[in-house]
Amino acid sequence: MEVGHIVRFSSQEFPFLVETTPCLDLDCSCSMMGLTLTELSPSGSPASDRLTFTLRVCLKTWAEHDPPPRSLDVESLAREFMARFPNQRIQELGQEFAEARAIKGRLASLSLSGSPDELVAYSGVIREKGGMREGFSDESFFFVLEGREFLIEDHYCANPPCDCQEVHLEFWERVREFFPERRVKIQQCLMVTLSLEGKLNETRYSNETTSTTRYLLAAWRRRCGDQRKELRRRYELIKAIGRRSFPRQSKTSMRVDTGKASGSKQQPPPQIKPRRGTARIRRNARCPCGSGLKFKRCCAGRFAVGD
């Protein structure tokens, strides 16, 4: 049996994906975690007709609680999983459990600072220090295309009156360098605006050619279309935090709705401007405006994503 989110059974041809669901009731003192195991198809993705089963285990004792009725084959797989799952991975699940509880507590009281017109990185909300600029990528999406590795960070509008239904995706490429020294460099590639319905609204800037950018985005959308559910969940979470952080904007939105019902003119929501510095560009890099000059010699003093 492998260590990680993929496990293999001696009696099964294909591996199983392990998805975890910790108990997030902050008033509960248990250490229970739900585990869902889904057989993967030959292409490596879950399929509706594949075998799936769940377990509810205590991470302190590594014992299953309240097992549901199962067939003999599934019961055999469940027992093999419980008996052979590595101790190191059990400890990692315990760490994931504690971290999930800590994040839930943080989000319950988190309040955003600054302007409601600034975009918010999901990784920066989940962790006190997050985002690609701080070197954290646990909450980012990972995508590989023809040997190129990309980390994709998602940003959202937290302004309560705005019902944009959009996510701003920032693509960073992980480049391995061997000269003059061996190192891994994370460099910004492009940023796009995607509706939660899957429509690509805008490519804001890119260090790629137009054809390469289109090819990259088309490949990402084909392979990662199932991420839209998670993107919507994150969108709703950021909006909820925004309503708590900017109550004055929320009240303004309510007054606008009331005015609309009475026939008065509705004012448009404020235009969203991304957080300055979200799109970090090296001073000696080529300026995104296309002038051919270095960024520090051109738009460094006024450039903001989306201008």
Q: What's the pLDDT tens digit per position in 229-247?
A: 889 999 999 999 999 898 8
**pLDDT greater than 60 at residue 43:** yes
Above 70 in pLDDT, residue 179? yes
Three-class secondary structure of residue 126 per DSSP: helix
On whether residue 65 sits in a domain, the answer given is yes
**With bands split at pLDDT 50, 70 and 90, how would you rate the model's confidence at 277?**
very low
Query: Number of structural domains, the chain?
Result: 2
Domain that holds residue 91: 6-107
Question: What's the pLDDT score for residue 130?
Answer: 56
Say yes or no: 89 and 139 in one domain. no
What is the share, in percent, of the chain residues with pLDDT greater than 70?
73
Q: Identify whether 288 is part of a domain.
A: no
- Is residue 112, in this structure, part of any structural domain at all? no
**Residue 251 sits in the same domain as residue 123:** yes
> Do both 175 and 81 map to the same domain?
no
- Provide mean pLDDT across the span 177-204: 82
| Inside any domain, residue 285 | no
- Residues 187, 242: one domain? yes
In a domain, 299, yes or no: no
Task: Tell me what the mean pLDDT of segment 41-56 comes to.
Answer: 77
pLDDT at residue 67 tops 80 = yes
Q: What is the pLDDT of residue 54?
A: 95
100 and 165 housed in the same domain: no
Global pTM reads 0.60
